[in-house]
A and B are shown apart, each in its own frame.
Chain A
Amino acid sequence: MGDRILEIIKTNNLTKKFNGFTAVDHISFSVREGEIFGFLGPNGAGKTTTIKMLTTLLYPTEGSAELSGFDVIKKRDKVRKHIGVVFQEPALDTELTGRENLDFHARIYGLDKDNRKKRAAEVLKLVNLEGKKDVLVKKYSGGMKRRLEIARGLMHYPTVLFLDEPTLGLDTQTRRAIWEYIKKMNKEEKTTIFLTTHYMDEADYLCDRVGIIDHGKILVIDSTTSLKNAVGNDVITLSCSDLDELGKRLGDESWIKNIKQHDTFLTLGVKKGEEKIPVVFEIARSLNIKIKSISVRKPTLDDVFLHFTGRTMRGQEERNTGRESRPPIFRSRRR
């Protein structure tokens, strides 16, 4: 049928090895036209490496990928024309003004004079930077730089925009604002968006579908709603006088989707967490166990991650930083 959903990114066993170390391990997935797709994963999962292969900056070791139907190895120039990229590390010329950075981009993408002017005004408006366009970028704040980069990524009307951790290191307010811009351009410009993040709330708010990636492998691809449902809509964390006992008892309850015992606390994945707190208290009292603290929260990436990998992200990040051996040039800089 003609109304088949167009797959704008399609990979097949895409793999990248760095001297024998596999950073991206035979991943196959596709992104549909017009959607916001997110890669969610901890540090070192292979998110940036995947983006670099899809944007022709790194050669895959194995496998293939297509973008708008163009092979990322054989049709590099075609691919490059169709994509916009906002890299994890800032990639602006700080000695130039915002406007000059956009102009540089427009020219190097071959926009003609009228288009350069018109489009620069449009994208600056989109990210609310009209007032700062003639200021040197080195005088911008981190959030302003990020907004400028997003605007720049849109200058040449890309079919797909890649955003590598778009809100890393920004304050809550700026993050919210950037989320709004991302939504807006997805809607108004019909730009397909591929983003990476390690914030669950970000993926939750922005993405239609999310892939969880760890150690270079995709563990699951689904909508954020389904991912969270797998964990339980809410997570109850509690500590008490006898974790083993209470844990065992709660394990028999069918309304608990999953239960996990940690060193000093228990986590329960449930629906309607607030209503379940009294029930938990009731059970604890019947066993003569004293609850010391209890809280309900929405599931985080950590919970989802834990559910699919059986490990917490935190423990893994610590191990990762311990063996970080990338040359300084590749280390991500936080603004």
Chain B
Amino acid sequence: MNTEEFQAIYIMWLRQMKRFIRSRSRLVATIVQPLFFLVILGSGLRSAVMPGMVGDDYLAFLAPGIIAMAILFSSMFTGISVLWDKQFGFLQEVLVAPVSRFSIIMGRTLGGATTALIQGFIILFIAFSLGIPIAGISGLLLTIAFMVLLSFTAVGFGLVLASKLENFQGFQIVMNLIIMPLLFISSAFFPIATNPDIPNIIAKLSFFNPLFYAVDGIRGSLTGINNVVNPLIDFVIVLVICIFMLGLGSYLFSKSEV
């Protein structure tokens, strides 16, 4: 790859960052919403007994789920924002330039991942200050790796949506009918697979939910309790899903005409 392609990746990334910093409302909304979840839900239910949960610290259980949720939403937004670029014509400016589609996707993905990670870290930091236990340094590094992978995956999914959807109503429908249910059975908010009150069929289904492995992986590596699967196995599964999703997203994007 020559320097021009790197320039293109860099400027796509920089644009993403500038837009992120300048759009205050988005900045606030994407940080405040997960914080509400974490602080209000987490503190409010901190000493409640959750069916299927090990230990008695609900906040420690919830924090990984909220980190995953924040990264998921933020990154999906980056992917789907291709639709905005299309609507506002800017996509043409990008597509008519003499750089490969691959660099364009790379720049956008890295930009999306950076913003998502910033948000993820803010939540992580707040969770620490609220006193959640951490498993150790290597666990923390693995957590970050999970965050990056989840972010890439979600950008890829956003790209897939952007190339398939015509407008933003479609996006709303996908959010409400696909993403929210997936999030609910991902064990982000409460235990699923180990929960005696959850119907067996849903518990089984949750193992087909890609989000489950991301949430479970972050939980396993960060706090080391309440995870269902070994974090390294989670990692391999998430990695495979990530490569697939990003590949599909890039493919569909590169096929698109303006």
Per-position contact with B for A100-120: 1 when CB-CB < 8 Å, else 0?
100111011110000000000
Q: Are B166 and A105 in contact (CB under 8 A)?
A: no
In the complex, what distance in Å separates the CA atom of A52 from the CA atom of B95?
11
With contacts A328-B167, A329-B86 taken as known, whether A91 is within 8 angstroms of B257 at the C-beta atoms is no
Looking at A81-89, A235-243, A310-318, the stretch in contact with chain B turns out to be A81-89
Taking CB atoms and an 8 Å cut-off, the chain A residues in 85-144 that contact chain B are 85, 87, 89-96, 100, 103-105, 107-110
Per-position contact with A for B4-23: 1 when CB-CB < 8 Å, else 0?
10011011100100110011
Q: Are A91 and B90 in contact (CB under 8 A)?
A: yes
**Which interface class (under 10, 10 to 19, 20 to 34, 35 or more) fits A?**
20 to 34
A92 surroundings in chain B (CB, below 8 A): 89-90, 93
In the assembled complex, the CB of B208 is this many whole angstroms from the nearest CB of chain A, namely: 34
Q: Are B18 and A96 in contact (CB under 8 A)?
A: yes
A220 sits at the interface (CB 8 A)? no
Looking at B31-39, B56-64, B96-104, B141-149, the stretch in contact with chain A turns out to be B96-104
In the complex, what distance in Å separates the CA atom of A47 from the CA atom of B258?
15
A306 sits at the interface (CB 8 A)? no
Per-position contact with A for B65-103: 1 when CB-CB < 8 Å, else 0?
000000000000000000000111111111111110000
Q: Are A90 and B23 in contact (CB under 8 A)?
A: no
**Which interface class (under 10, 10 to 19, 20 to 34, 35 or more) fits B?**
20 to 34
B92 surroundings in chain A (CB, below 8 A): 57, 85, 87, 89, 91
Specify the chain B residue showing the minimal Cβ separation from A57.
B258
Q: Are A329 and B22 in contact (CB under 8 A)?
A: no
In the complex, what distance in Å separates the CA atom of A85 from the CA atom of B96?
8
A77 surroundings in chain B (CB, below 8 A): 98
A223 surroundings in chain B (CB, below 8 A): none
In the complex, what distance in Å separates the CA atom of A81 from the CA atom of B4?
12
Residue of A92, A93, A94 with most partner-chain B CB within 10 A = A93
In the assembled complex, the CB of B173 is this many whole angstroms from the nearest CB of chain A, namely: 17
Specify the chain A residue showing the minimal Cβ separation from B95.
A57
B89 contact from A83, A89, A103, Cβ within 8 A: A89
Specify the chain A residue showing the minimal Cβ separation from B258.
A57
Q: Are A108 and B86 in contact (CB under 8 A)?
A: no
Q: Are A109 and B96 in contact (CB under 8 A)?
A: no
A22 sits at the interface (CB 8 A)? no
Q: Are B99 and A108 in contact (CB under 8 A)?
A: yes
Q: Are A104 and B11 in contact (CB under 8 A)?
A: yes
A157 sits at the interface (CB 8 A)? no
B residues in contact (CB < 8 Å) with A = 3-4, 7-8, 10-12, 15, 18-19, 22-23, 86-99, 166-167, 257-258
* Given pairs A80-B96, A91-B92, 9 additional interface contacts (CB within 8 A): A55-B96, A93-B19, A103-B11, A107-B11, A108-B8, A108-B99, A110-B3, A329-B86, A329-B87
26 A–B contacts, CB within 8 A, in A order:
A52-B258, A56-B96, A57-B257, A58-B257, A77-B98, A81-B98, A85-B96, A87-B89, A87-B92, A90-B88, A91-B91, A93-B90, A94-B88, A96-B15, A96-B19, A104-B11, A105-B97, A108-B11, A109-B97, A109-B98, A110-B98, A110-B99, A328-B166, A328-B167, A329-B87, A329-B167
